[in-house]
């Protein structure tokens, strides 16, 4: 089942991502069966894949069963019948459905109870990036099972990263990266809205992309070190000074009559750290007040 050898793979779910996964496996010569709740979408995958109407038939005798559904509730529903579960005997199930670490733990419990090898995975890519150098997939679970299938799984992403044996670790890393992505993206969009509301062409802000991404990068490096040492003292800029800067952002948003939710939420988080007595420390000291609500 390593690279260079053709595997029998079933891809369950022919949504946007599932279709891209199925085509990626087929493109490197694997024999790919696809199944989808709405059969027409499975038939539309094409690219040399075989569409099955019966789930049991699609998964029988497969080396790998790759699941890409909306959520784990859909996964539980799809794999609920006894004959479907029986057809998984001898295969490895790779869960590429996004979820939480608790979802992953429940799925492993289910797989173990049914004697199925299970890897929990999280894909960091849009479907168009599947099988390109821009795709990353994180895997959690048995290292031996991962190593056995790595060559095959690399059809989806050369950058297939084994995170940890803890089954929730891929979902944890995915959630962490997505938080940075969604939070960062919202900040960027709010910043553009501030510019527009103040009559400054947002292009001027976007042109500074390297400046603000560079600042975030430097802060992430400093935070990594400070969190590891549990020491947030420094000589660069105190939290008190940062809080004053965030107050300006709230003030601008109020004056320009655009949403203040995001900067107020920022301010609340940073002020909480100051209220906890951390005002003289560096920005990453906020980490200390995020451990509990
Ligand atoms: P999608 O296009 O909406 O496809 C969802 C799939 O789930 C469809 O095959 C749908 O079947 C199936 N489904 C939903 N509920 C079901 C149920 N109760 N029973 C059976 N099948 C059910 O979504 P997607 O973009 O492919 O996303 C799939 C997974 O990939 C998600 O977990 C998502 O978070 C993850 N992901 C997606 C992206 C992305 O950029 N698209 C990126 C990273 C991760 P029907 O066709 O019958 O509705």
Under DSSP, is residue 166 helix (H, G, I), strand (E, B) or coil?
coil
pLDDT band with cut points at 50, 70 and 90 for residue 4: low
pLDDT at residue number 291: 85
Residue of minimum CA distance from atom 8 in ligand 1? 15
Instruction: Tell me if 41 CB under 6 Å of ligand 1.
Output: yes
In a domain, 229, yes or no: yes
Rounded to the nearest angstrom, the distance between the alpha carbon of 184 and the centre of ligand 1 is 25
User: Residue 9 belongs to what H/E stretch?
Assistant: strand 8-12
| Domain span holding position 179 | 172-289
Decide if 149 is inside a domain: yes
Of 167, 188, 215, the last residue of a domain is 167
CA distance 161 to 158: 9
Are the beta carbons of 234 and 282 closer than 8 angstroms? yes
- Give the strand order in the sheet containing 31-35: 50-52, 31-35, 8-12, 64-67, 92-95, 117-124, 136-141, 159-164
Same domain, 112 and 203: no
Whether residue 184 is found in the same domain as residue 148: no
pLDDT score at 148: 97
Q: pLDDT for 225-267, tens place per residue?
A: 999 999 999 999 999 999 999 999 999 999 999 999 999 999 9
| Domain count along the chain | 2
Give the pTM. Answer: 0.93
Contact 64, 11 (CB under 8 A): no
CATH number of the domain enclosing 99 = 3.40.50.720
Q: Are residue 104 and residue 187 in the same domain, yes or no?
A: no
Residue 1 resides in a domain: no
2 lies in some domain: no
What are the pLDDT digits (tens) for 40-67?
A: 999 999 999 999 999 999 999 999 999 9
The CATH number linked to 251 is 1.10.1040.10
Which of 167, 200, 219 marks a domain boundary? 167
Ligand 1 atom closest to residue 124's alpha carbon, by position in its atom list: 43
Q: Which of 10, 12, 17 is the pocket-test mutation for ligand 1 (most atoms within 8 Å of CB)?
A: 17
Q: Is residue 3 one of the residues assigned to a domain?
A: no
What separation in Å is there between the alpha carbon of 45 and the centre of ligand 1? 14
Same domain, 149 and 184: no
Residues 139 and 49 both lie in one domain = yes
What pLDDT is stored for residue 207 in this prediction?
98
The domain boundary residue, chosen from 167, 196, 221: 167
38 lines ligand 1 (CB under 6 A): yes
Q: 185 and 162 share a domain?
A: no
Same domain, 238 and 98: no
Nearest CA to ligand 1 atom 33: 98
Q: Do 209 and 111 sit in the same domain of this protein?
A: no
Q: HSE-up of 96 (CA within 13 Å, CB side)?
A: 31
Task: Identify whether 120 is part of a domain.
Answer: yes
Residues 159 and 253 grouped into a single domain: no
Pocket test for ligand 1, best of 19, 70, 157 (most atoms within 8 A of CB): 70
Q: How much is the pLDDT for 292? A: 74
Residue for token digits 């998984």?
88
Beta bridge partner(s), residue 136: 124, 159
- State the distance from the centre of ligand 1 to the C-alpha of 55, rounded, in angstroms: 16
32 and 162 both lie in a single domain = yes
* Cα(59)–Cα(134) distance, integer angstroms: 29
Dist. CA 289 → ligand 1 center (Å): 36
The residue among 192, 194, 196, 221 whose CA lies nearest residue 209 is 192
């Amino acid at each position: 089942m390593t690279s260079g050898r053709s595997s029998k793979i079933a891809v369950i779910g022919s949504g946007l991502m599932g279709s891209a996964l199925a085509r990626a496996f087929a493109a490197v010569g694997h024999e790919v069966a696809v199944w989808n709740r709405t059969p027409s979408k499975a038939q539309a995958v094409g690219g040399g894949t075989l569409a099955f109407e019966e789930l049991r038939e699609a998964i029988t005798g497969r080396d790998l069963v790759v699941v890409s559904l909306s959520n784990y509730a859909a996964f539980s529903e799809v794999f609920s019948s006894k004959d479907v579960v029986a057809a998984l005997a001898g295969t490895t199930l790779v869960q590429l459905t996004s979820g939480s670490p608790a979802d992953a733990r429940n799925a492993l419990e289910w797989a173990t109870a049914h004697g199925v090898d299970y890897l929990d995975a999280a894909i960091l890519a849009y479907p168009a990036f599947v099988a390109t150098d821009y795709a990353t997939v994180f895997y959690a679970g048995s290292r031996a099972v991962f190593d056995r299938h790595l060559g095959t799984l690399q059809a989806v992403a050369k950058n297939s990263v084994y995170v940890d044996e803890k089954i929730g670790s891929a979902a944890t890393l995915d959630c962490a990266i997505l938080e940075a992505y969604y939070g960062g993206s919202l900040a960027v969009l709010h910043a553009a809205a501030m510019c527009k509301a103040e009559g400054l062409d947002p292009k001027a802000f976007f042109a500074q992309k390297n400046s603000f991404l560079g600042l975030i990068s430097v802060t992430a490096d400093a935070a990594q070190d400070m969190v590891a040492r549990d020491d947030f003292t420094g000589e660069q800029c105190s939290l008190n000074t940062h809080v004053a800067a965030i107050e300006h952002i709230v003030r601008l948003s109020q004056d320009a009559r655009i949403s203040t939710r995001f900067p107020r939420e920022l301010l609340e988080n940073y002020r909480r750290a100051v209220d906890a007595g951390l005002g003289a420390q560096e920005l990453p000291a906020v980490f200390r007040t995020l451990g509990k609500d």
